[in-house]
Amino acid sequence: MLGHNAKWNFDLHFQNDVGDGFIFCAYSFPIDYFEKKKVSGYALDKILLNSIMDFQFYGKKESSELSTGKLHTYPFHPANVEDSGVTSEYILTCIEQAINFQEELGLKKIVIPNYYEHFELKNLTFIIKKVNTWLKANRRQGHEYYMTIPITNHMVVDKEKMESLLGELVAANIVFDGYYIACETKPENRRKISTEIKYLINLSRFFRILNKQEFKIIYAYANWDSLLFFAQTDIDYISVGTFENLRNFSLKRFTTSVEGGGPSDGWYFSEKLLNVVKALYVPLLSDKGVLGVIENEENIFSDIILDEDYVWNNLKIEVQKNYVVAVNSLFNSLAKFPAGKPRIQELLRLVNHASDCYDNLESRGVHLIEESSNYHLDTWKIFLTSL
């Protein structure tokens, strides 16, 4: 998922064989970016061959309040509306023009943008039905069309609302090839991923039903808890992003100018712990002689940043590349097992091993806290053993 420092992701794909392609986020890429022949040392045509675009209509007109970002460079983006309101007709026109832009750009997988609604499921389904009708008459051969489904956190934990939404998405008259899912998650304070059991249960069922109905699925803004969903369902594409805003969907990014959180030393993602370790703790782990408990194997970026002389910073290439390579490795290892019981059992084995690693650290005097603790593992065990 491409945003800041896209070159890192291009390199990871073309040099390190990570991922199937790219998701361009309109917030980070102005419209004239796609007029170039070459970007970051790569031919743009080659990059676009396996790319999709997220036009990020989520904030609608409120996006016009942003002092940063490139959304306004697209004339068909709702951020450019001049009147006092945004009508359904206006939104539909914007959506049609966004579809045409992608087709003319040569993309084969077309992501149909959609807006994000706080409380009204009927507004979301109204747009879905209208676009579905339009697509019946206007789709082009040789293209796949994915309808964007932005799901609020209050919706995903509501079983009844998720069932109602599913009913609309799998209706017999639907012509979409699949869905582009952007789901809002709200981890507790000092946590990176959610342990809300209703969120895990309802979203898992959502993916599973769409898959059974033979719709393709792109899970955008995905964090590493998507391993739980992938264990049950062969989700076609799961995004991996470098920075936090590419793997934790939040409407605020598209409605409010939010200053950065300040400098950070960064995080070490450990495949063995299934978690991040705050950079501050790495020297302690080294001093205790337990780096081997958390280090990623066959990951050159892991080797670099665990060197005792490495100077940590969240904006350094190795820190972000370690995360992407490590998460990609976990997905690849799970993909060797069929979705369902075999894959669930393999993930459960990894969770149990992660628990053992935490016990090992604690037995040797290292107690990781807050985001770096094992706060998520018990919930994962309960969830996986209940399937």
Domain regions of the chain by residue span: 6-254, 267-385
Opening angle at CA 353, ends 225 and 289, nearest 5: 110
Q: Using alpha carbons, list the distances in angstroms from residue 362 to 191, 280, 317.
A: 20, 17, 30
Q: Which residues pair with 269 in a beta bridge?
A: 276
The 10s digit of each residue's pLDDT in 314-368 is: 889 999 999 999 999 999 999 999 999 999 999 999 999 999 999 999 999 999 9
Alpha-carbon gap, residue 176 to 170, rounded angstroms = 10
Which residues, in sequence order, are CB contacts of 331 under 8 Å at separation 6+? 227, 230, 238
Give every CB contact of residue 55 below 8 A, 6+ residues apart in sequence.
Answer: 26, 74, 77, 98, 111, 113
Q: What is the pTM of this model?
A: 0.96
CATH number of the domain at 6-254, out of 3.20.20, 2.70.98, 3.40.50, 1.10.3470? Answer: 3.20.20
CA dist., res. 316 & res. 323, Å (int): 12
Cα separation, 8 vs 317, whole angstroms: 7
Please tell me the predicted confidence (pLDDT) of residue 170: 97
CA 17 distance to own-chain centroid = 19
Torsion of CA 50, 246, 339, 51, to 10 degrees: -10
pLDDT of 262: 57
* Burial category of 367 from C-beta neighbours within 10 Å (exposed 0-12, middle 13-18, buried 19 and up): exposed
Residue at token pair 């970002």: 69
Q: Write the burial class of residue 264 (CB in 10 Å: 0-12 exposed, 13-18 middle, 19+ buried).
A: middle
Residue 117: the pLDDT is 67
For residue 338, CA distances in Å to 208, 210, 221, 237 come to 14, 18, 24, 16
Is residue 57 within 8 A of residue 86, CB to CB? The reply is no
Q: How far is CA 303 from CA 85, 164, 272, 279, in A?
A: 53, 48, 15, 14
Stretch (H or E) spanning 138: helix 121-138
By the 10 Å C-beta count (0-12 exposed, 13-18 middle, 19+ buried), 103 is classed as middle
Amino acid 77: pLDDT: 94
Q: Give the residues of the chain that fall short of pLDDT 50.
A: none
106-138 residues labelled b (16+ CB within 10 A) or e (exposed): ebebbbbbbbbbeeebeebbbbbeebbebbeee
> 66 vs 96, 252, 329, 364, CA distance in Å?
24, 10, 36, 49
Asked whether the beta carbons of 111 and 58 are under 8 A apart, the reply is: no
Do the beta carbons of residue 242 and residue 323 sit within 8 Å? yes
pLDDT value of position 118: 60
Name residue 25's beta-bridge partners: 54
